[in-house]
Structure 1
């Protein structure tokens, strides 16, 4: 065989391998999306139209819309979500402004304090409020005040505490994009601080504020944990779905309510994405960051205000942790470890199951999302748009709706998919596709940030897609891959709504055990189990930060960043991370 023939054969083999790699990177993740996301949702839509006699029609929708209980739940959900959104926007802007534009002290403490609700199931906020303000709470014992914490006001406070960190993240990212040159020009023209705030700060942050509003609205209207613990007689759509499916085994009505819950969520997600694109798409690569300085008349009262908010968040979580070590809260305040001797609801088995499920979801997520993001630059633009649309669709689907869809799709005996039902792996799949969009957007951001010169260098030396993947993309994307892995792991550990319908007598998860212990009246044991979950998530976060730090210290990566990224590229990467991180906790 001649040298030319050998080279032609080698080139043909390389092209075939490149094509196979790209095709596999697209096909397998899309097959997963179709089977474990699109197909179950299609069944929910069909079930909502299926009548008791097996025929199809809109009678279920008519029954729901004419049911006084459901109509009241819809109204309650809207009132609660709008109220939570209003409070979170005001408080979130104040905190974000303090963190980004003021000279107050303790910013690191504030960021840590306000991130605590993201490290635990949503119902932990409700538990903390019960330990503080409930009928058997500290305030009642110390003052004798009979505070009715169950219902709208308790649920409102719990939802504010849970959703506020997400509003702060988004608004803070929006404020970070401002250009100092506008403020310098205003100073030259003699504009006061208040005038600058009204004419520059607020207009520049308006799309970030709008984006934060719709994120908070979506988080609140779909939350189940707080409503289940502290909602009382204040019924919302999330609890109505649970009641219809678990209490009455009425999957048809549950599917209808799920569709009703899905519609405002999809609208909110669409508006949020448009607002996010306008906010970050309009920023300049050459923008000069706004410097912060201490201004006493503004920063002293602002500091007191935001530190009070941070302290409330800490007190609620710390109260739950303290209650887990108290013999009988709040009457016998003696230290004990008896609350950690949990034998009900499967003991600690659900915690180990949660660890297994979270690792499975994270491993599967990193593999599928990485290859899907890698293929986006190597397929036709039209196909890339379709893939992108399918990949971001899960962000608009509430966890409860996804959970119902999995019951309908996999609780069957007439096809092979039924084998998965009742397994921990199905719960892992549900968690992965629940957070599929956020992980995908972060991976895409990481792939786009890979310097083109790295890929071109590998190509110049005769490397195909496999060599580019191995020698250029993977080494550069280490921190992104680590972040996505731990993001999916941590969210899987605390997720409740997406998996509440998938548990069984043999397989349960930690967040569900907390809810069951609270329902059974073992609130101190529920606090103990919540503490175990929080410790696990905090350890995972610490491990993630350590791994990223070690990776970033490697000499080869530092050299790559130094030689291949200038300041504007770094700012662009940070801006994309800000934009995509907005949805990481919803």
Structure 2
């Protein structure tokens, strides 16, 4: 009985925080979306092109950012783990540097690179007399999301790659397996749990990131900006609440699937 009381006392703060910052807001959002929206807010999301396009664009962008981040970060992480060279620690520190910046600052970085006065604009002006700009578009937002997504995956891949059993790789080589076969049959299964975990975090972060989208929001229609517009400019609280719940639901489903797949990968590997 004493141990039960101690356990309850230890878990009580987590219960209070979950109730105050998760359950109550979710219930209130659902109430606003149904009661004030007369129950049609969710139907409008699926039938009105503006809201449906915002939802699909956000999911598509987040998926593409996650895929590209996994590809680039896997190659980079494996290289940094396997090879030693001068300046390696400095390079690793630079790769993790974006994690220190908020989304608004990253948005400014994209503007400095691909805005009207950015580097690409100056190069295009010098070469063809025309400014090359894409900062205030989905391409600019993709670049910003990629900037803060890659470090998360690189660090995860490096941690997983350090646990890679080199004996398995040597055994594969001795049996005549090619580098591609070793990568697919040995390296990828070892990295899969970490890739699934970091990929799900990239997806979730891209789905809900607001600061970068707000900084670049000229011709960008993604859910965080749509929610902000409905809430602050249109005072459409029911639609803002419904969109918020849809965004949370999609992200929650992604994280749940990733968790199950990651657990399955660990089980198969064990």
- Measured against the shorter chain, the TM-score band is 0.7 to 0.9
**Structure 1 residue aligned with 2:15, among 16, 30, 46?**
30
Matches within 5 A, 1:315-334: none
Q: Is the 8 A contact 2:124 2:132 kept in 1?
A: no
- Pick the structure with more helix per residue: 2
Matches within 5 A, 1:495-514: none
Rounded to whole Å, the distance in 1 between the matches of 2:262 and 2:118 is 41
RMSD (CA atoms): 2.3
Rounded to whole Å, the distance in 1 between the matches of 2:227 and 2:251 is 15
Deviations 1:230-281 (A, max 9, x none): 1321210110011111122222110110111112101111122223334445
**TM-aligned CA deviation for residue 156 of structure 1:** 0.8
Look up the match of 1:43. Answer: 28
Matches within 5 A, 1:550-561: none
1:186 has 2:172 as partner: yes
Matches within 5 A, 1:289-300: none
**TM-aligned CA deviation for residue 82 of structure 1:** 1.9
Q: 1:189 to 1:246 in 2, by over 3 A?
A: same
Aligned residues: 265
1:86 has 2:71 as partner: no
Rounded to whole Å, the distance in 1 between the matches of 2:172 and 2:161 is 17
Structure 1 residue matching 2:36: 3-state secondary structure = coil
Matches within 5 A, 1:412-423: none
Answer with 1 or 2: which has the greater Rg: 1
**TM-aligned CA deviation for residue 20 of structure 1:** 4.9
Q: Is the 8 A contact 1:214 1:268 kept in 2?
A: yes
TM-score (norm 1): 0.42
Deviations 1:170-189 (A, max 9, x none): 33333233222212322332
Rounded to whole Å, the distance in 2 between the matches of 1:243 and 1:222 is 15
TM-score (norm 2): 0.87
Rounded to whole Å, the distance in 1 between the matches of 2:262 and 2:137 is 33
**Structure 1 residue aligned with 2:205, among 206, 215, 219?**
219
Deviations 1:465-487 (A, max 9, x none): xxxxxxxxxxxxxxxxxxxxxxx
Deviations 1:88-141 (A, max 9, x none): 111111111112223444331222111111111022222012123211224434
Deviations 1:270-310 (A, max 9, x none): 122223334445566xxxxxxxxxxxxxxxxxxxxxxxxxx
Q: Is the 8 A contact 2:190 2:269 kept in 1?
A: no
**Structure 2 residue aligned with 1:75, among 51, 56, 71?**
56
Deviations 1:294-344 (A, max 9, x none): xxxxxxxxxxxxxxxxxxxxxxxxxxxxxxxxxxxxxxxxxxxxxxxxxxx
Deviations 1:498-552 (A, max 9, x none): xxxxxxxxxxxxxxxxxxxxxxxxxxxxxxxxxxxxxxxxxxxxxxxxxxxxxxx
